[in-house]
Amino acid sequence: MDILKYVILGMIQGLAEFLPISSSGHLVLFKYLLDINVGLTLDVFLHFGTLVAVIIVYRRDIIKMITFKEEYRKFNLYIIFGSVPAGLVGILFEDFFENINSSLTIVGFFLIITGIALWLSDKIESGKRGLKDMNYLDSIVIGTAQALAIFPGLSRSGSTIVTGLYKGLNRELAAKYSFILSIPVIGGATLLKAKELLVTGIVGISYSELVIGTISSMITGYFAIRLLLKLIKMQKLQYFAYYCFVLGFILIFIL
């Protein structure tokens, strides 16, 4: 049942992209467990599914951004500035990260790093800085955290949300900026990969399997965002820290 494998991978992507446990790390692990060897094409389409989930959850904010509502004009610029670091890293070091993306030891190491960051984040007092208090330095620092999350095992959502909290943003804004910041990066990566596919075609996977995986990641991602928003308000990110610690040690010392 190959289709079932891609449903499972889509669910893993949807959960792990937004729950701070590293989607790239879990995709590496579950590709290994399910014996799937497709490369980054599948990863990009699964990420696209979660991109659609973000757009659905934050559709009201996105409409305000597109229509240049006064309170969102600077927010648009913050998204642009925050997207630059990940764009540069993706373009300059794509081959390097493709090569390390299959190492379970590297995934385990960065999962432990993610766990440490999440555990410390719940020790931070709730920030009071809202959208009007945000600045360009915040966007660049958080964007750099997103760029570093290209390492498999380092959670993108965890890195950006925790960095936002350390910068004093309130928990709602830290989460909102993290999720919306993923749109240009994931969208850009999807367009680049789609352009390649027009030339080379899809190898090792069918269109139906890509579609099934994408839909699965979109639906699961929607509910994962809703869940994480509640947990952030409750300051419960440390629960994910313990999970990252355990899985990291398993990958390093057992698998």
- Positive or negative, the Cα torsion across 235, 242, 27, 211? negative
Q: Alpha-carbon distance 240 to 230, whole Å?
A: 14
Contact 55, 179 (CB under 8 A): no
Q: Which residues 6+ apart lie within 8 Å of 226 measured at CB?
A: 57
Which DSSP string corresponds to 160-226? HHHHHHHTTB-HHHHHHHHHHHHHHHHHHHHHHHHHHHHHH---SS-HHHHHHHHHHHHHHHHHHHH
Residue with the larger pLDDT of the pair 100 and 109: 109
Mean pLDDT computed over 161-180? 93
Q: What's the pLDDT band for 151 if we cut at 50, 70, 90?
A: confident
pLDDT mean over 227-241: 88
Residues spanned by the domain of 205: 2-253
What is the C-alpha to C-alpha distance for residues 59 and 52, in angstroms, rounded to an integer? 10
Backbone angles phi, psi at 129, to 5 degrees: -80, 125
Is the pLDDT assigned to residue 39 strictly greater than 70? no
For 104-137, letters b (16+ CB in 10 Å) and e give: bebbbbbbbbbbebbbebbeeeebebebeebeee
Give how many domains the chain has, as a whole number: 1
pLDDT tens per residue, range 124-143: 777 889 989 999 999 999 99
Best mean pLDDT range from 97-111, 133-147, 177-191:
133-147
Write down the pLDDT at residue 172: 92
Phi then psi for 135, rounded to 5 degrees? Answer: -140, 180
Residue 135 is given by DSSP the state -
Residue 194 tokens read as 């789609």
Residue 1's pLDDT is: 55
DSSP 138: H
Please give the model's pTM, rounded to 2 decimal places: 0.85
